[in-house]
């Protein structure tokens, strides 16, 4: 097998985050569940909520895109497959991902709907309540999958958030087939409980068929997927079918299970939690970067914890500190 050019090629939602501070009362008054993510199904709904926001900050986002932005900041070679529209936010997303040194070749889509956006309300305790209009991301066609690109990447990384619409789901299934035939590894993140609720059978099928090499989840997600009594039982149900299971445990750190081997690391200390947006995404970035570089499970988990700690210390889901420097200090 030839040495791959890229550490990871990711497929995910191409969206722009709009972040704004809000108090608990605002969240409740507008029918939102604090700390959760809800979908908006029309541009009119997104526009109405956007009009209620206070001063905001626009930052390119999307779960898988955040992960590879973190990996690129650590020095990984990355590529991204996702769909934007031919509009201002689409230009913002493309500019940001190219500026990070990430390959992104998918042409912008003409006409409606607009580029996806996520309206994020951050309460004083750092919790983020997200309202997402996926827009053009729903229309990622299977023909956007570059087989040569996927064959040339060590990992194919997929986000569960994009499993909902038919076109991207078909694109990701095609990408999985290409990666497996090329002998590359497939990493998958469950993304959120509402995603699992809609696609539990499909996700279980991927697991049962041995199509996932690395599964990322937080403790609530893996318990919800398996309907187990607790996180240990959930991991026990999945680990025989997935070579590497990685579970984040919030302020208690994270663990990785590979066969019968389990490694746990604590969370990295920070002065204050400012915004938890992207914590799981950046954790995956650090972990996958470590694995792509041949580091141990403990080292990879530590890198994940370092990246997660950096991103929750400020607004936005993309790193602003020098992740390479932070990684060198931690290892």
pLDDT digits (tens, 9 = 90+) for 228-258: 999 999 999 999 999 999 999 988 999 999 9
pLDDT of residue 277 exceeding 80, the answer is no
* pLDDT class of 173 with cuts at 50, 70, 90: very high
- In this structure, the strands spanning 37-39 and 15-21 are unpaired
> What tokens were used for 232?
């240990």
Is the alpha carbon torsion for 298, 303, 308, 310 positive or negative? positive
pLDDT of residue 96 exceeding 70, the answer is yes
* pLDDT class of 1 with cuts at 50, 70, 90: low
* pLDDT class of 328 with cuts at 50, 70, 90: confident
Is residue 287 within 8 A of residue 255, CB to CB? The reply is no
In order of their start, the domains of the chain are 6-14+61-112+136-330 (3.40.1190.20)
* Ramachandran class of 52: left when φ > 0, alpha when ψ lies in -120 to 50, beta otherwise: alpha
> What tokens were used for 105?
């070749």
pLDDT of residue 84 exceeding 90, the answer is yes
pLDDT at 270: 84
- Other CB atoms within a 10 A radius of the CB of residue 241 amount to 16
Distance from C-alpha of 305 to C-alpha of 294, rounded to nearest angstrom: 17
Distance from C-alpha of 38 to C-alpha of 118, rounded to nearest angstrom: 10
Q: Scan for tokens 């889509």, then name that residue.
A: 109
- Mean pLDDT (the chain) is 92
- Other CB atoms within a 10 A radius of the CB of residue 133 amount to 25
* pLDDT class of 37 with cuts at 50, 70, 90: confident
- In this structure, the strands spanning 6-11 and 78-81 are parallel
Share of the chain above pLDDT 90, in %: 71
DSSP secondary-structure letter at 110? Answer: P
pLDDT of residue 6 exceeding 90, the answer is yes
pLDDT of residue 39 exceeding 90, the answer is no
* pLDDT class of 274 with cuts at 50, 70, 90: confident
Q: Give 255's strand partners.
A: 247, 264
Question: What is the mean predicted confidence (pLDDT) over 282-292?
Answer: 96
DSSP secondary-structure letter at 85? Answer: B
Half-sphere exposure of 203 (CA within 13 A, CB side): 31
* pLDDT class of 57 with cuts at 50, 70, 90: confident
The pTM of the full predicted model, rounded to 2 decimals, is 0.90
Query: Which residues, other chains included, contact 306 with Cβ-Cβ below 8 Å and sequence gap of 6+?
Result: 268, 286, 323, 326, 327, 330
DSSP secondary-structure letter at 35? Answer: T
Is residue 159 within 8 A of residue 190, CB to CB? The reply is no
Is the alpha carbon torsion for 196, 140, 116, 218 positive or negative? positive
């Amino acid at each position: 097998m030839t040495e791959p050019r890229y550490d990871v090629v990711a497929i995910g939602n191409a969206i722009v985050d709009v972040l704004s501070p809000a108090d608990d009362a605002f969240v409740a008054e507008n029918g939102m569940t604090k700390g959760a993510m809800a979908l908006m199904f029309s541009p009119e709904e997104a526009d109405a909520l956007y009009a209620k926001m206070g001063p905001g900050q626009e930052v390119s986002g999307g779960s898988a895109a955040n992960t590879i932005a973190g990996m690129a900041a650590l020095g990984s070679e990355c590529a991204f497959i996702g769909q934007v529209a031919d509009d201002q936010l689409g230009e913002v997303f493309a500019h940001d991902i190219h500026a990070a040194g990430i390959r992104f070749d998918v042409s912008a889509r003409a006409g409606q709907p607009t580029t996806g956006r996520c309206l994020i309300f951050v309460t004083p305790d750092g919790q983020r309540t997200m309202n997402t209009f996926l827009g053009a991301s729903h229309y990622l066609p299977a023909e956007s999958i570059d087989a040569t690109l996927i064959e040339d990447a060590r990992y194919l990384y997929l986000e569960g958030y994009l499993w909902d619409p038919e076109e991207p789901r078909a694109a990701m299934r095609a990408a999985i087939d290409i990666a497996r035939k090329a002998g590359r590894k497939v990493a998958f993140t469950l993304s959120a409980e509402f995603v699992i609720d809609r696609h539990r059978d499909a996700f279980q099928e991927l697991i049962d068929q041995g199509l996932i090499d690395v599964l990322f989840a937080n403790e609530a997600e893996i318990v919800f997927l398996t309907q187990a009594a607790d996180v240990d039982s959930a991991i026990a149900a999945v680990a025989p079918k997935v070579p590497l299971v990685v579970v984040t445990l919030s302020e208690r750190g994270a663990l990785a299970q590979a066969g019968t081997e389990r490694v746990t690391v604590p969370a990295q200390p920070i002065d204050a939690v400012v915004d938890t947006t992207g914590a799981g995404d950046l954790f995956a970035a650090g972990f996958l970067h470590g694995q792509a570089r041949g580091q141990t499970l403990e080292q990879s988990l530590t890198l994940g914890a370092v990246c997660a700690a950096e991103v929750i210390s400020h607004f936005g889901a993309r790193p602003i500190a020098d992740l390479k420097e932070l990684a060198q200090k931690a290892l």
